[in-house]
Structure 1
Amino acid sequence: MKGLKLGSKIIFVINSLVAFLLLTSYILPYIPPKSFASLSVLSLGVPLLIILNGVFFMYWLLRVKKQMLLSLVVLLLGWNYINSMYKFSYSSDDIGTSDFSVMSFNVRLFNKFGWLPEPTVKEDILNFINTEQPDILCLQEYRTGDPIDLDGYYNFNARHVEGVKSGQTIFSKFPIINSGSLEFPNTSNNAIFVDIVKQRDTIRVYTFHLQSSGIETDVEKLKKETSSHLFKQVGATFKAQQGQVELFLEHKSKSNYKTIVTGDFNNTAYSYIYRKVKGEDLKDAFEAAGNGFGRTYDFKFFPMRIDFILADKAFAVNSFKTFDVKLSDHYPIKTTLSLP
């Protein structure tokens, strides 16, 4: 820091801390939350750390200072992180004869408790679905006690199935030949799956809603939370998510079908949870064909992508879209896939 004025030295100290935190976050996908829950919380802040390092890089670059190398090197080391946060891809809306579309959407109980002021949210969601006409539709936080009817679809758990937790449902234009539920312990969250037949192929589709951290998105309410309480709360959530993912992976390992995984992970693409679900045999549809930040959750501070569609590597990802429609605290996502 030789030659820097006092103000610039302070800025570089802050820059160094932010760069160190981002660098530390690169090991988070490999550390089980049950082993180090407090550190895993850092994964939620990765988008902000990327943005801040970008700001510091530009700050020093415009002043032609060698300090710009710190954030530049850290950002380049984590280039895959940037790729998970923002995409410049182009995808076509044209649908081929062998293509089929998959949509995932956390509908937040169809606004049952009036979080949004509009009284027609449920009807608006139904109109949106009917307009988009996805071939496979996966909904989370779905009220089986207040169901929707979709013409031309088979479904599983659209109305409560005995012995299966409500909250998730799958609609499919293709016949469903098998279905079931993975019941997560000590929570209302769960995962469901269906096996569908498309021409000669049988495809397994999962959708799940992993444990929620319960973090307030309202700025004033969030200010009242202590940092120690937030770390403890989120750490406990990530431990629960790890157990839920382990149940999912055990179930998935018994299937030989090509698989699609959708849902609200309540975690980011920089986490251990995401890495374990994705594994070596799935690819992220957003990373393959998305565009922009891919924000799926209405978080006020920075873009959060916590809803995913992961597809077997055998599928070609032809398009991906995040819909900027305010019908929930989540945004619907949709991809078009095909089997070459």
Structure 2
Amino acid sequence: MKPLNFFDKVIFFVNSLFATALLLAYLLPYIPPSSFPYLSVLSLTMPVLLVINIAFLIYWVVKLRKHFLLSFLILLLGFNHILSLYKFGAEKYTKQPQDVKLLSYNVRQFNRFNWIEGDSVTNQIINFIEAEKPDVVCLQEYQQRSDVDFVEFQHKYEVLTDKKTRFGQAIYTNYPIVNKGSIGFGTSNNNAIYVDLAVGNDTIRFINIHLESLKIKPKVSEFQEGTREKLIGRIDNSFRKQEAQVKKILKNLESCPYKSVISGDMNNSAFSYIYRKLSEGHLDAFKEKGKSFGKTFDFDFIPMRIDAILVDEAFKVRQFNSFPKVKYSDHYPISCIFSLESKD
């Protein structure tokens, strides 16, 4: 076999850099952000790193070069991460009376500052949710307003972390609320709230999370501007806060006598330490029954999945949906149907 020409040597060198970056990204779910904060930013780029390494693999295969083995072995090592990035469509499912349907949505204060043109965004959000007919609705970046009234639900629990703007989180349901509470993240306006619901003969804790925001614009170009060092610093700070917030959520679960479902806005990727800790003992509804990239956040061409529904392992996920065409916020709603019977 002929040696590589100069151009291919450069290509292979760049390939090696991206393969190393991907390998480092694989390790991040096992490293607390507080240990290596700057490295944790790599978890946000995992989808891009996967696609780039797949491109390098194809390039070398087409050229019939053994150098394809570098990206091939790295991708094979992280095959489970590929499954977290993309899922082929699951079979259709019709909800049964004993099933539970949960919908989670970061509603961005119902378009309070007119980020989206039009005066009907609030009504569109309400109409969408009511048309989906969920049993439980978890809303993040909720705002208490006179024009927000989900009449289809008998029970509501809301916690306003900013009394002045009436900003916070809410859970709507028709199941009886046995217990409720706010986990609280100190001085942050982000929060996690929970309700214990009587569902059939069981009681289930539903936790609605909104972890610390990354405070970034939904544009890749922001990472290319001169302020990217400050931007990365802000992301690092947010990751540290998220780590502390997750510890509080897990402490709440440790004292919970019931099975649990966690849903909401993680403000972090499914390749992160934050996600791994939250998903312990739970099934990722997207990984069980999702399709395509499961994109939940509008971030240019990168399929960011920073919202999740995590169902107790004792349950069986029947269906998962994301709604990328529902553009009433910078997030897209997600829903899940699960049954209380054991997944076995």
TM value normalised by structure 2:
0.94
1:75 corresponds to 2:75: yes
Q: In the alignment, what sits opposite 1:59?
A: 59
Question: How far apart in 2 are the matches of 1:333 and 1:33?
Answer: 27
Question: 1:214-225, aligned counterparts within 5 Å?
Answer: 214-219=215-220, 221-225=222-226
Q: In the alignment, what sits opposite 1:297?
A: 297
Question: How far apart in 2 are the matches of 1:295 and 1:172?
Answer: 25
The runs of at least 4 aligned residues of structure 1 exceeding 4 Å deviation read: 158-163, 219-222
**Structure 2: which amino acid aligns with 1:250?**
K
Structure 2 gap segments, 5+ residues each: none
Task: Assess if the C-alpha contact under 8 Å between 1:144 and 1:159 holds in 2.
Answer: no
1:327 corresponds to 2:328: yes
Question: How far apart in 2 are the matches of 1:254 and 1:157?
Answer: 21
Residue 292 of structure 1: how far off its partner (Å): 0.5
Q: In the alignment, what sits opposite 1:200?
A: 201
SS state at 1:309 partner: strand
Residue 193 of structure 1: how far off its partner (Å): 0.2
Task: Assess if the C-alpha contact under 8 Å between 1:157 and 1:166 holds in 2.
Answer: no
Structure 1 gap segments, 5+ residues each: none
Question: How far apart in 2 are the matches of 1:275 and 1:184?
Answer: 20
Q: In the alignment, what sits opposite 1:226?
A: 227
Q: CA 1:85–1:17 in 2, change beyond 3 Å: closer, same or farther? A: same
Give the fraction of aligned pairs with identical amino acids, expressed as a percent.
Answer: 43
Q: In the alignment, what sits opposite 1:276?
A: 277
**Structure 2: which amino acid aligns with 1:25?**
A
Task: Assess if the C-alpha contact under 8 Å between 1:183 and 1:190 holds in 2.
Answer: yes
SS state at 1:292 partner: coil
Question: How far apart in 1 are the matches of 2:167 and 2:76?
Answer: 44
Residue 24 of structure 1: how far off its partner (Å): 0.8
Question: How far apart in 2 are the matches of 1:213 and 1:225?
Answer: 18
Counting matched residue pairs gives 338
Q: CA 1:229–1:34 in 2, change beyond 3 Å: closer, same or farther? A: same
Residue 222 of structure 1: how far off its partner (Å): 4.7
Task: Assess if the C-alpha contact under 8 Å between 1:191 and 1:206 holds in 2.
Answer: yes
Question: How far apart in 2 are the matches of 1:254 and 1:294?
Answer: 32
TM value normalised by structure 1:
0.95
- Residue deviations 1:177-218 (CA, integer Å, cap 9, x gap): 111101101211111000101111101000011001111223
1:169 corresponds to 2:170: yes
Question: How far apart in 2 are the matches of 1:113 and 1:166?
Answer: 13
Task: Assess if the C-alpha contact under 8 Å between 2:193 and 2:208 holds in 1.
Answer: yes
Residue 147 of structure 1: how far off its partner (Å): 5.8
Question: 1:1-340, aligned counterparts within 5 Å?
Answer: 3-146=3-146, 148-158=148-158, 166-219=167-220, 221-279=222-280, 281-324=281-324, 325-340=326-341
SS state at 1:244 partner: helix
RMSD over aligned Cα, in angstroms? Answer: 1.9
Task: Assess if the C-alpha contact under 8 Å between 1:135 and 1:173 holds in 2.
Answer: yes
**Larger mean Cα displacement after TM superposition, 47-56 or 141-150:** 141-150
Residue 270 of structure 1: how far off its partner (Å): 0.8
SS state at 1:50 partner: helix
